Structure 1
Amino acid sequence: MKKIASVLAAVGVAAVSLVTAEGVANAACTYDHACMYSEKDFKGLMRDDGFSRPNWGQVTYKNSSIALYRGDGSQQNVSSMENRDENSYIAVYYNSNYTGPCFRIKPNGRVWNFQDVKLSNGDANDRMNSHKFNPSNCQTGTIHG
C-alpha cells in the first residue's frame, strides 16, 4: 500500500510541474498534430490540433477562451508552431481561408519564432490567421523547420 501511495504522490508532483505560473500546461505536442503557441520557443498558451483551421480567430487555445488570432499586434496571437505530422507539410497563411502570403513547416518541423519568418509582405509574427495540412496553394512559400 505504501508503494501505491508513493507512486500516486510522484504522479501528482509530475502533473503539477507541467503547469506554469500562468496555469498553462506545457505538455508535449501530440503525434500527427499541429501545435500552436502564443509565445516564441513553444511557450505560453497552447493549441494541440489535428485539423486544418481556416480561421484562427474562431479557434481557442487549450483550456482558454482566447483565440489564436485576435487582430494584428495582439500579444496572444500564435508566435511559434510545431508540425508533428511526419508525412505532410503544414502551410501557415497570413489570411483566413488559406489565402495570402504563406510559409510551410516541414514534416516533424518547428518554427521557434514567427518573427524570424519573412513573407512577401514583410513579416509573419502575430499576423498569421490559418493553417492547412498538405497544402496545395502554398508551393512558393518558404520552408521552415
Structure 2
Amino acid sequence: MLKASVKKYNAEKNKGKYYQNVSLHKEIAFQYSYPRLDVAVSKGLNHLLKSPFCAHPKTGKICVPIDPMNCEKFSPKKVPTLSDLVEDIDRLGREREKEGGGKERDKEKGWKGTRLQPYVKFFQNSFLIPMQKEIRASLVKNNGVSHDEEMF
C-alpha cells in the first residue's frame, strides 16, 4: 500500500512541476518585458513613463519616445540633457544674430535645430499625426464635420 501511495505522490508531484515551469516562464517574461509600475508612477502626472520630453530631476536627461522597431539601436546615454538643450539654443541664437534674425524668428524655431528634433519628429509622425487623423475621421463619421486645419 505504501509503495502505491509513494508512486501516486511522485506522479502528481512531477505533473505539478511541469505546470509550474510553464507558469514560471510566463512570469519571467512578464517581469522583464513590461515597465515597472509603482506608486510613484501612479500618483504623479509628470512621471517619465507617462510624459515624453520631461526632464529627469537627478540626471537632467530628457525623456524621449523610442521607436520600437529600432529599440536595439537606442542608447539612454545618448539622449539629450537640459545642458545640451541650453547649448543648442545658445548656439542657434548666435547663428540667428549673425544672420540678422530677431526675437520673432527665435520664437518660431522652438525645438527645431536642437538635439530634440529627431525625437519630436518621431513623436509627431508615429503618434500625434495618426491620432489626429483618427480623431478627424471620427468627427466626420459622427458629426459629418470636416476640419481642414491641423490639430497639432
The structure that is helix-richer by fraction is 2
TM-score of the superposition, structure 2-length normalised?
Answer: 0.28
TM-score of the superposition, structure 1-length normalised?
Answer: 0.29
